[in-house]
Amino acid sequence: MDRGVPTEEVLAEMRQSDPPVPPKGRLSKLEQELLAKPWQEARPGVPVKLLPQDGELYVFAESRDRVAKERAMRRRQLTWLWTDGRNVT
C-alpha cells in the first residue's frame, strides 16, 4: 500500500483475510446509515453503534476515555503553539 492507496494485491489480501477487511471507501458509504443508528452501551464509557449488512456486523465504537485523552493532547499542543513554545504554567 502506498500513501493509503491499496494495490490490487493488497485488496485481494484484504478480501481473503478472515474476517475480511473492508476497504475504507466502503466504510465511508456506511457512514450515513451509522448516523441514523442509536448508540448502545457496550460497557461503561464505550458507546457503540451496530449495523448489520450483507451478512456482516459493522461495529462503530467510541471510547470516552480515548476521546478525553486525544482532546487533552490537542489542548496541550495548542497551548504550546499559543505560547510559542515558552514554558508557561
Query: Which residue is associated with the grid cell 449495523?
Result: 51
C-alpha cell at 69: 485523552
For a pLDDT cut of 90, what percent of the chain falls above it? 29
> Looking at the predicted structure, is the pLDDT value of residue 31 above 50?
yes
Helix (H) or strand (E) holding 33: helix 24-36
Confidence of residue 87 (pLDDT cuts 50, 70, 90): low
Instruction: Evaluate if residue 12 carries a pLDDT over 60.
Output: yes
**DSSP label of 19:** S
Candidates 75, 57, 59, 58; CA nearest to 67 is: 75
pLDDT in tens, 51-84: 998 887 888 888 999 999 999 999 999 998 888 7
- Indicate whether this model's pTM tops 0.85: no
Question: In the 8-state DSSP scheme, what is residue 2?
Answer: B
